[in-house]
Chain A
Amino acid sequence: MDSESPTLTLGPTAERRPARGGLALTPGEDLLGFVGSYLGRALLFLITGTSVLAVLLILFFVVARSIPFFRDFGIGEFLTSQSWRPTADEPTFGALTLIVGSLYVSIAALLFAVPVGILAAVFLSDIVSWKIRDIVKPVVEILAAIPSVAYGFFAVLVLAPWMQSQFGFSTGTNALNASVILAVMALPTIISVAEDAISALGRELREASYSLGATRLETMVKVVIPAAHSGIIAAVVLGMMRAIGETMVVWMASGNATQIPHPWWDLSQSIRTMTATIAGEMGEAPEGMPHRSALFAVGVVLLLMTFVLNIVSEYFLSRARKATGKS
């Protein structure tokens, strides 16, 4: 970003002046200021440290509470069995349906949200006038501010009956319903990250393309989008994180049946996700029982997934930053 107008930019050496020296006073000249600046740094470090600490503590807590489950029941059945009957007399804890359910609705949501999101991002960054863009972008971001339980209400009371009467589905709270709502919820993330990536490319690239005789469409599809692909991938991954971690909407809209759709593409069947299971069953899973540690085990799987997605998105975001820095 910092090299958009190369003639005006100061070199890195001029910008990165050493912290001490220059304007700062020595301790002899200003003891209070000297001590104050160090105290301030220490305080800010502590404050920043708490959020890092919180992440580590959550990770430690969830993993530690799931260990009894993995010790007693092993990991094989947990990941491969489809039988989740935690309250039966002989409880079985097969989380495969839950893991598949989470991935199922998240991926289906992306199928809706990615094309729409990228097209909207292109439209906002390159096509629409600034005036309209300044109205549309905040409105899109409001989508992210709507509480998920409000989406859930909409899903149950409006979308579900509509799907039943329109498509003849036997049940309206199903994978399709949850995916559509999740797609809408993931849209603001995808649009704003992708739009940032696309508009960060700068004029030069586009003008070079035009000067070679490319049309606007060709410039968009063959130059701009490929050049911004790292940022767009990051946008998609962030959208997926949003979808996979969402709880209230899937708890209300997906039907929560512990099954894998059969045949696998049938979105009209109801499914259950990991997040909905944890939220729905934690209340009555007694302390010290396998049911509770099994829910923590589900939490570990969920954490691992979001962890991996986070790393992937960080990787692509940093690549996008580097790419625009060079151009």
Chain B
Amino acid sequence: MEKLLIIAVVLSLVTGMAVQAETLQIDGSTTVGPIADAFAEYFKKVYPDLDITVKKTGSGDGAAALVDGRCDIATMSRFMKDKEFKDAVANNVVPVAHVVAIDGVCVVVHPSNPVSALTRAQIRDIYAGKITNWSHVGGPSLPIVVISRDTSSGTYETFESLVMAKQAMGSGVEYVNANPQAHARVKTTQGAIGYVGIGFLDKDVKAVKVDQVAPSRQTIVTGVYPVARPLFLFTNGYPKLGSVVHKFCTFYLTEKGQELVEAKGFIPLTAY
């Protein structure tokens, strides 16, 4: 009986060691989260022993987790801030950025709205509350319902930094807490203006040209469209070649990886 027990314990230890060999902790942006999820799902199929967890707590939390060594890969929808970088280096962590995809933030209006092009200055004035009627930008006489993402979203951060140029949002701006909700509000509100990721463009909302450039895969990935940003994976140093982290961070280069990026509504980097 005792012998059996000992054998059982030894066996479980041996197999346990074999199983717990590889884990991959991913933490960070809610925007990059879907890409990480899709990659992780594929990796789980290919490497059944691999234990991957993907958390979506926000870019700032992802950076903090990488600095504290709580994750192997931090997903971020913006580059690391100076302070985060300094904290990391002080903690003997050297953040290395891998761009996995490009996200375009598209300014959308109701399909019935005749306005089809706006300049960034006009959009800024609309969001600052200086322009309140569509007739001021060549549209019908209709009050503008301004819809923004909540201030803790990565999409808000991109829009705010690329369009608002330090201007404060007006007090009449409405806030919604997800891309689908922003889409739903614009779709159902005649005078609405909003912004969503390019994955959320469809026939129910109309994307306007920004500074004379229509959002498309090509204009976004080449940087011609002004409201676009790269999406990052951050690792501590460049991952060891052949390691799981390395495979994960270069997966976007494969055909399957690009397919997944596109399926999630983002633009693969090679779409020139």
Contacts and interface: CB of A to CB of B under 8 A. Distances in A.
Contacts of B91: none
B181 A156 contact: yes
Contacts of B176: 173, 252, 256
Contacts of B184: 156-157
Interface stretch (B32-40, B165-173, B224-232, B245-253): B165-173
Interface string B183-198: 0110011111000000
Given A89-B166, A252-B181, A257-B174, A281 B152 contact: yes
A151 interface: no
Contacts of A270: 172, 174
A181 B172 CA distance: 22
A285 B184 CA distance: 27
B181 A85 contact: no
Interface stretch (B143-151, B201-209, B236-244, B257-265): B143-151
Given A280-B151, A281-B152, A156 B185 contact: yes
Nearest to B172: A257
Given A280-B152, A283-B152, A286-B60, A88 B168 contact: yes
Instruction: Place the interface of chain B in its size category.
Output: 20 to 34
A160 B181 CA distance: 12
Main SS at interface, chain B: loop
A164 interface: yes
A230 interface: no
Residue from A164, A170, A270, A284 with most neighbouring chain B CB atoms (10 Å): A284
Nearest to B57: A283
B58 interface: yes
Contact of B171 (A160, A259, A280): A259
B242 to A, nearest CB: 36
Interface residues of A, number: 32
A159 to B, nearest CB: 11
A172 interface: yes
B15 to A, nearest CB: 41
Contact of B185 (A87, A89, A173, A257): A173
Interface string A163-175: 0100000111100
Contacts of B171: 82, 97, 257-259
Interface string B8-34: 000000000000000000000000000
A296 interface: no
Contacts of A86: 151
A6 to B, nearest CB: 58
Contacts of A280: 150-152, 175, 177
B61 to A, nearest CB: 8
A251 interface: yes
A294 to B, nearest CB: 13
Contacts of B191: 170-171
B194 to A, nearest CB: 12
A85 B152 contact: no
Contact of B188 (A82, A172, A259, A284): A172
A283 B62 CA distance: 12
B182 to A, nearest CB: 11
A259 B181 CA distance: 21
B152 A255 contact: no
A197 B191 CA distance: 48
A281 to B, nearest CB: 6
Contacts of B174: 171, 173, 255-257, 270
Given A170-B190, A252-B176, A257-B175, 20 more contacts: A82-B171, A85-B168, A86-B151, A87-B151, A97-B171, A156-B184, A161-B189, A170-B142, A172-B188, A173-B176, A173-B185, A252-B177, A257-B173, A270-B172, A270-B174, A272-B175, A280-B150, A281-B151, A281-B152, A284-B151
